[in-house]
Amino acid sequence: MKLVLYSGGSEDENRFLNLRALELTHVKSPKLALIPSSSFDAEDDFKFFVQEFSEFGVQRFMLFCVDTPYTKTLLQEVLKSDLIFLGGGNTFYFLKHLKKAGMFGHFEKFLKRGGVLCGLSAGAIVLTPHVHTASFPHFDRDENPWDMKNLSAMRLVNFEFFPHYKNSKRYDAELLHHSKKSKLPLYGCGDGGGIIIEDQQISFVGKCYQFYLGQKLNVPHCK
Protein backbone atom coordinates (compact mmCIF):
# COMPACT_ATOMS: atom_id res chain seq x y z
CA MET A 1 0.00 0.00 0.00
CA LYS A 2 1.39 3.39 -0.98
CA LEU A 3 0.08 6.46 0.81
CA VAL A 4 1.31 10.02 1.14
CA LEU A 5 -0.28 12.26 3.76
CA TYR A 6 0.42 15.97 3.28
CA SER A 7 -0.15 18.54 5.99
CA GLY A 8 -0.51 21.51 3.62
CA GLY A 9 1.52 24.54 2.64
CA SER A 10 2.91 26.01 -0.51
CA GLU A 11 4.13 24.39 -3.70
CA ASP A 12 7.75 24.94 -2.67
CA GLU A 13 7.20 23.47 0.77
CA ASN A 14 5.66 20.33 -0.70
CA ARG A 15 8.19 19.80 -3.45
CA PHE A 16 9.92 16.93 -1.67
CA LEU A 17 6.66 15.11 -0.91
CA ASN A 18 5.48 15.60 -4.49
CA LEU A 19 8.66 14.11 -5.83
CA ARG A 20 8.48 11.14 -3.45
CA ALA A 21 4.84 10.53 -4.37
CA LEU A 22 5.76 10.41 -8.04
CA GLU A 23 8.68 8.08 -7.35
CA LEU A 24 6.32 5.71 -5.59
CA THR A 25 4.38 5.19 -8.82
CA HIS A 26 7.47 3.60 -10.43
CA VAL A 27 6.10 4.78 -13.77
CA LYS A 28 7.98 6.89 -16.28
CA SER A 29 4.97 8.82 -17.51
CA PRO A 30 2.45 8.56 -14.68
CA LYS A 31 -1.24 9.44 -14.89
CA LEU A 32 -2.44 11.67 -12.06
CA ALA A 33 -5.98 12.36 -10.92
CA LEU A 34 -7.05 15.16 -8.62
CA ILE A 35 -10.16 14.68 -6.52
CA PRO A 36 -10.87 18.02 -4.86
CA SER A 37 -12.89 18.16 -1.66
CA SER A 38 -15.57 20.17 -3.44
CA SER A 39 -16.40 21.08 -7.01
CA PHE A 40 -16.52 24.75 -5.99
CA ASP A 41 -13.55 26.33 -7.78
CA ALA A 42 -12.24 22.85 -8.55
CA GLU A 43 -10.93 24.11 -11.88
CA ASP A 44 -8.62 26.50 -10.04
CA ASP A 45 -7.32 23.67 -7.90
CA PHE A 46 -6.79 21.59 -11.00
CA LYS A 47 -4.77 24.33 -12.62
CA PHE A 48 -2.44 24.59 -9.64
CA PHE A 49 -2.23 20.82 -9.32
CA VAL A 50 -1.11 20.58 -12.95
CA GLN A 51 1.40 23.39 -12.39
CA GLU A 52 2.94 21.65 -9.39
CA PHE A 53 3.34 18.26 -10.99
CA SER A 54 4.10 19.25 -14.56
CA GLU A 55 7.34 20.65 -13.16
CA PHE A 56 8.43 17.04 -12.85
CA GLY A 57 7.53 16.30 -16.45
CA VAL A 58 4.08 14.85 -15.79
CA GLN A 59 1.70 15.41 -18.72
CA ARG A 60 -1.34 13.27 -17.99
CA PHE A 61 -3.86 14.72 -15.57
CA MET A 62 -7.50 14.25 -14.72
CA LEU A 63 -9.95 16.15 -12.57
CA PHE A 64 -12.73 14.26 -10.88
CA CYS A 65 -15.35 15.76 -8.56
CA VAL A 66 -17.29 13.49 -6.24
CA ASP A 67 -19.93 16.04 -5.24
CA THR A 68 -21.38 16.42 -8.74
CA PRO A 69 -22.78 13.62 -10.90
CA TYR A 70 -20.02 11.86 -12.85
CA THR A 71 -19.83 9.32 -15.61
CA LYS A 72 -18.75 5.71 -15.23
CA THR A 73 -16.28 6.30 -18.04
CA LEU A 74 -14.40 9.03 -16.23
CA LEU A 75 -14.50 7.18 -12.90
CA GLN A 76 -12.96 4.10 -14.48
CA GLU A 77 -10.30 6.22 -16.08
CA VAL A 78 -9.49 7.87 -12.75
CA LEU A 79 -9.18 4.48 -11.07
CA LYS A 80 -6.75 3.40 -13.78
CA SER A 81 -4.44 6.29 -12.97
CA ASP A 82 -1.13 5.84 -11.15
CA LEU A 83 -1.65 8.46 -8.48
CA ILE A 84 -4.83 9.85 -6.98
CA PHE A 85 -4.57 13.06 -5.00
CA LEU A 86 -7.31 13.98 -2.54
CA GLY A 87 -7.43 17.75 -2.04
CA GLY A 88 -8.01 19.81 1.06
CA GLY A 89 -11.04 21.74 2.22
CA ASN A 90 -13.91 20.93 4.52
CA THR A 91 -13.24 17.44 5.85
CA PHE A 92 -16.86 16.67 6.72
CA TYR A 93 -18.17 17.72 3.32
CA PHE A 94 -15.48 15.70 1.57
CA LEU A 95 -16.09 12.61 3.72
CA LYS A 96 -19.83 12.84 3.13
CA HIS A 97 -19.45 12.86 -0.64
CA LEU A 98 -16.68 10.27 -0.78
CA LYS A 99 -18.95 7.92 1.15
CA LYS A 100 -22.01 8.79 -0.94
CA ALA A 101 -20.07 8.04 -4.11
CA GLY A 102 -18.82 4.75 -2.69
CA MET A 103 -15.23 5.79 -3.24
CA PHE A 104 -13.70 3.90 -0.32
CA GLY A 105 -14.14 0.53 -2.01
CA HIS A 106 -12.71 1.89 -5.24
CA PHE A 107 -9.68 3.27 -3.42
CA GLU A 108 -8.99 -0.08 -1.74
CA LYS A 109 -8.89 -1.79 -5.12
CA PHE A 110 -6.79 1.04 -6.50
CA LEU A 111 -4.25 0.60 -3.70
CA LYS A 112 -4.24 -3.17 -4.11
CA ARG A 113 -3.19 -2.89 -7.73
CA GLY A 114 -0.29 -0.61 -6.72
CA GLY A 115 -1.71 2.90 -7.10
CA VAL A 116 -0.41 5.76 -4.95
CA LEU A 117 -3.08 7.49 -2.87
CA CYS A 118 -2.18 10.96 -1.63
CA GLY A 119 -4.18 13.28 0.57
CA LEU A 120 -3.63 16.85 1.66
CA SER A 121 -5.10 18.12 4.90
CA ALA A 122 -8.78 17.06 4.69
CA GLY A 123 -7.74 14.62 1.98
CA ALA A 124 -5.19 13.10 4.37
CA ILE A 125 -7.53 12.97 7.35
CA VAL A 126 -10.06 10.87 5.40
CA LEU A 127 -7.38 8.18 4.93
CA THR A 128 -7.27 7.60 8.71
CA PRO A 129 -9.80 5.65 10.84
CA HIS A 130 -12.00 8.69 11.51
CA VAL A 131 -12.07 12.45 11.05
CA HIS A 132 -12.25 13.65 14.67
CA THR A 133 -9.12 15.74 14.21
CA ALA A 134 -11.06 18.07 11.91
CA SER A 135 -13.23 19.07 14.88
CA PHE A 136 -10.51 20.76 16.93
CA PRO A 137 -8.86 23.00 18.05
CA HIS A 138 -11.85 25.23 18.62
CA PHE A 139 -10.03 28.20 17.07
CA ASP A 140 -9.21 26.42 13.81
CA ARG A 141 -11.60 23.66 12.97
CA ASP A 142 -13.85 22.62 10.10
CA GLU A 143 -17.52 23.50 10.28
CA ASN A 144 -19.93 20.59 10.29
CA PRO A 145 -23.23 22.21 9.33
CA TRP A 146 -24.48 18.86 8.04
CA ASP A 147 -24.20 17.62 11.61
CA MET A 148 -22.55 14.40 10.47
CA LYS A 149 -22.50 11.87 13.27
CA ASN A 150 -20.74 8.97 11.64
CA LEU A 151 -17.20 10.24 11.36
CA SER A 152 -15.57 6.95 10.45
CA ALA A 153 -13.25 7.20 7.49
CA MET A 154 -11.11 4.90 5.33
CA ARG A 155 -9.04 3.20 8.07
CA LEU A 156 -6.06 2.78 5.77
CA VAL A 157 -3.68 3.58 8.66
CA ASN A 158 -3.90 2.98 12.37
CA PHE A 159 -3.16 6.50 13.53
CA GLU A 160 -4.82 9.87 13.51
CA PHE A 161 -3.50 12.78 11.48
CA PHE A 162 -3.49 16.45 12.40
CA PRO A 163 -2.50 18.78 9.53
CA HIS A 164 -1.25 22.39 9.78
CA TYR A 165 0.11 21.69 13.22
CA LYS A 166 1.85 24.62 14.89
CA ASN A 167 4.24 23.92 17.74
CA SER A 168 2.50 26.08 20.32
CA LYS A 169 0.92 25.75 23.72
CA ARG A 170 -2.61 26.29 22.57
CA TYR A 171 -2.38 23.60 19.91
CA ASP A 172 -0.63 21.23 22.28
CA ALA A 173 -3.28 21.68 24.94
CA GLU A 174 -6.02 20.51 22.61
CA LEU A 175 -4.02 17.73 20.98
CA LEU A 176 -2.85 16.34 24.33
CA HIS A 177 -6.37 16.49 25.66
CA HIS A 178 -7.61 14.52 22.66
CA SER A 179 -4.81 11.97 22.89
CA LYS A 180 -5.86 11.06 26.42
CA LYS A 181 -9.21 9.86 25.11
CA SER A 182 -7.98 8.22 21.93
CA LYS A 183 -6.53 4.74 21.61
CA LEU A 184 -4.61 5.70 18.51
CA PRO A 185 -1.45 7.72 18.22
CA LEU A 186 -2.00 11.11 16.64
CA TYR A 187 0.61 12.66 14.36
CA GLY A 188 0.72 16.44 14.10
CA CYS A 189 2.63 17.72 11.07
CA GLY A 190 3.49 21.27 10.14
CA ASP A 191 2.92 22.66 6.64
CA GLY A 192 5.35 21.19 4.13
CA GLY A 193 5.58 18.05 6.24
CA GLY A 194 3.80 14.76 6.01
CA ILE A 195 3.92 11.00 6.25
CA ILE A 196 4.89 8.51 3.56
CA ILE A 197 3.82 4.89 3.79
CA GLU A 198 5.13 2.28 1.43
CA ASP A 199 3.92 -1.18 2.34
CA GLN A 200 5.01 -1.66 5.95
CA GLN A 201 7.41 1.27 6.00
CA ILE A 202 6.47 4.63 7.44
CA SER A 203 8.60 7.72 7.12
CA PHE A 204 8.08 11.29 8.23
CA VAL A 205 8.91 14.45 6.35
CA GLY A 206 9.35 17.79 8.09
CA LYS A 207 8.74 18.39 11.76
CA CYS A 208 6.27 15.87 13.12
CA TYR A 209 5.10 15.15 16.64
CA GLN A 210 3.34 12.19 18.13
CA PHE A 211 0.59 12.74 20.71
CA TYR A 212 -0.26 9.56 22.54
CA LEU A 213 -1.87 8.90 25.92
CA GLY A 214 -1.38 12.48 27.01
CA GLN A 215 2.29 12.62 25.94
CA LYS A 216 3.98 14.61 23.19
CA LEU A 217 7.00 13.10 21.45
CA ASN A 218 9.33 14.30 18.72
CA VAL A 219 9.27 12.06 15.66
CA PRO A 220 12.52 11.58 13.76
CA HIS A 221 12.08 12.60 10.16
CA CYS A 222 13.93 11.81 6.96
CA LYS A 223 14.01 15.37 5.59
Partner 1 sequence: MGNTKLKESRPSKETSKETIGYPKFKEIDGSHPLKVSVPEAVVEYQVRTRHGGQVAFFNFELARELGLIPDNHPHELTKELKEEILHTFSIVIINEYDQMNNFNFPKDEIRQKTYMATRYLQLQHPCKKGTTSGDGRSIWNGQITNKGKSYDVSSCGTGATKLSPACNINKKFYQTGDPTVSYGCGYSEKDEGLSSLFFSEVLAKNGLETERVLAIIEFPKGLAINVRVHENLLRPSHMFNHLKQNNLPTLKRVVDYYIERQVKNKVWKNIPSDPKSHYDYFLMKVVETFAQMSANFEDQYIFCWLDWDGDNILMDGGIIDYGSVRQFGLYHHEYRYDDVQRWSTSIKEQKQKARYIVQTFAQIVDYIKNEKKKSIDDFKNHHSLQTFDKRFFDYKNQNILMKMGFNLKYSEALLSHHRKDIEDFRSDFTYFEMAKSGKGPQKVPDGINWNAIFCMRDILRELPQVYLSRGINGIVNEAEFIDIIKSSYATKADLKSSLRRNLKIRSFQKSYLKLINLAAKKCKETPEKVLLDVSMRSSVINKYDRVTGDSISTIVEKVMAKKPKLSAEEISLILKEFTEYQNLNPDKERRPSNFEAEKEQSHILKGMLQIVREFRDGI
Instruction: Kindly list the residues in this chain that would bind partner 1 in the complex (CB under 8 A).
Output: 8-11, 14, 31, 34, 36-50, 54, 59-63, 65, 68, 71-74, 77, 80-81, 85, 87-90, 93, 120-123, 143, 145
Q: What is the Cα gyration radius of the chain?
A: 16
CB closer to partner 1 out of 88 and 188: 88
What does each C-alpha distance from 19 to 13, 55, 57, 58, 194 come to in angstroms?
Answer: 12, 10, 11, 11, 13
Q: How far is the CB of 213 from partner 1 (least distance, A)?
A: 30
Tell whether the torsion through CA atoms of 17, 22, 25 and 30 is positive or negative: positive
Tell whether the torsion through CA atoms of 109, 111, 115 and 119 is positive or negative: positive
CB closer to partner 1 out of 72 and 113: 72
Q: How far is the CB of 217 from partner 1 (least distance, A)?
A: 27
CB closer to partner 1 out of 24 and 86: 86
Q: How far is the CB of 211 from partner 1 (least distance, A)?
A: 22
Terminal CA-CA length for the chain = 22
Q: How far is the CB of 125 from partner 1 (least distance, A)?
A: 11
CA dist., res. 70 & res. 54, Å (int) = 25
Q: How far is the CB of 69 from partner 1 (least distance, A)?
A: 8
Q: How far is the CB of 83 from partner 1 (least distance, A)?
A: 12
CB closer to partner 1 out of 179 and 190: 190
CB closer to partner 1 out of 62 and 111: 62
Q: Where are the alpha helices (DSSP H) in 101-158?
A: 103-112, 122-125
Those residues whose C-beta lies under 8 Å from the C-beta of residue 17, and which sit 6 or more positions away, are 4, 6, 192, 194, 196, 205
CB closer to partner 1 out of 129 and 163: 163
